[in-house]
Chain A
Amino acid sequence: MIRLENVSKVYATSTRPALDDVTMDVERGEFVFLIGPSGSGKSTLLRLLLREDVPSRGTVWVANWNVGRLARRRVPRLRQRMGCVFQDFRLLPNKTVAENVAFALEVIGKPRHTIRTVVPEVLDMVDLGGKADRMPSELSGGEAQRVAIARAFVNRPLVLLADEPTGNLDPETATGIMTLLERINRTGTTVLMATHDRQIVDSARRRVVELSSGRLARDDHRGVYGVAR
């Protein structure tokens, strides 16, 4: 589903590469943690997958798209098949929970009757069926992140990218989010989650890919956060 072949990324503002000759493979339906300290290249990797940036060298594949070579006008199609969740939720403060989720479908031109049926379904799935008309300011952090996940998942993406989705949440709420992501993973969606959350990684026992200074430092199936840290 995701394949990186000798991918390097050098930013003009820095002498050291943000990603340095990284090769990795993620199968369809896998759940992968992407760990490493700040500046190790996690965000760069996610940006390359989303075609926010193009690799300096190497090839990035998502599904059957050569992402780095994708024509600009094809980029929206790629992104429609990928979901994205962030540490800071990125909800629109002037729209309700349901409107926030519907927004992701409206702007890619989904018909209204589809939106009307799909949005309540996905809100039920993230256990927010009763809060469809709340404003984001009325939600707890965990609830806000559930809305963000609902928005990312509502179009049934092939891949869900999560960038520190539990970074702003207390451990108990974080576990709830993790459970939700695993539930989404069980529907067949490939999940790639960048995180610093040792407890989450250790208890999930999923594949762990560690980046260090832009290089691939470790790739363990059923791994833990750090061996001797």
Chain B
Amino acid sequence: MLFVWREALVGLRRNLTMTLAMVITTAISLGLLGAGLLAVRTIDRTEDLYYSLIAVQVALDEPTSAEDPDCSSPVCRDLRAELEADPLVASVEYESREAAFTRFQRIYAGQSILQLVRPQSLPATLRVTMDDPLRGTEIVDRFTGRPGVRNVVDQRSTVADLFSFLGSVRNATFGLAIVQALAAVLLISNTIQLSAFTRRTEVGIMRLVGATRWYTQVPFLIEAVVTGVVGAVLATAGLVAGKVFFLDNLLSGRLLANTIPPIGMTDVLGYVGPVLVVVGAVIATATGYVTLRLYVRS
């Protein structure tokens, strides 16, 4: 056991430049993969965050908005009853014009838009929370144009752009990760061949004195696995650095605060890090094994 480790370390030191190239390429590839995984995680969380908040808003027309503070008019009462009876609907809340204006004042406190808006420009609404937020369009279709309804808005469509942006980020990082992974795999394969070539005398003697495959081949596999694991550790360190120095500022800044949930340290170290180590080790081992099978006589 000691022997194979010693041989592997000697091999890694002997081709130091190749080893470094291999580690760096692997690290970049795994780092991109990790970034993609974090993006997926963030997208899921953002969706959860938004889907609990968003609703379908059925805005009522001017007469109802102006005269009905508690949805007691026949028009409003009928609409509400129909929505509540709908199996797709979880709950319905009525927000009068006054309540809407109060909320508006709270949201835009201290901003100039407040001076321009009068209560008259805001409609009373029925806020419909869906059992399944993805089926809001069915409510929109059914209630648009009904008497007493000004318009129906599915809030999901307004956040769809955000999700598609995050989705593109994820796809781009995964795409780059695959290209980099290919480069890493080729480099690992190449280095093992080189390593096997520089050690051909040793391996020849080992075979002759009856060393098993364990002794002749495992040092090369260990070289590959060490590369994969070190690459994964560096990649994780890179992600931590990226989080601390870049993302934390970005996501807590004015633009994106409360829009995208922040990425926690446990996401990086507790989830992505271990995944990268396993992926790195598995890919490196598989590459090493296939290379030894194809190019190196056992």
Question: What is the interface of chain A, defined by CB distance below 8 A to chain B?
Answer: 50, 72-73, 75-82, 84, 90, 92, 103-104, 106-109, 151, 155
Contact = CB atoms under 8 A, between A and B. Distances in A.
A75 B208 CA distance: 10
Contacts, number: 45
A162 B180 CA distance: 51
A108 B215 contact: yes
Contacts of A155: 209
Interface in B178-220: 201-202, 204-213, 215-216
Given A76-B212, A106-B3, A107-B3, A90 B201 contact: yes
- The A contact surface, by secondary structure, is helix
Contacts of A75: 210
B201 A78 contact: no
Nearest to A109: B215
Nearest to B209: A104
- The B contact surface, by secondary structure, is helix
Interface in B198-257: 201-202, 204-213, 215-216
**Nearest 10 pairs of A and B residues by beta carbon:** A80-B210, A79-B210, A107-B211, A76-B210, A104-B209, A107-B206, A76-B212, A107-B215, A106-B3, A84-B208
10 contacts: A73-B213, A76-B211, A78-B210, A79-B207, A84-B209, A90-B201, A106-B3, A107-B3, A107-B211, A108-B211
Interface in B74-89: none
Contacts of A80: 209-210
Contacts of B202: 92, 103
A104 B207 contact: no
Contact of A92 (B3, B201, B210, B212): B201
B209 A107 contact: yes
Contacts of B201: 90, 92
B259 to A, nearest CB: 61
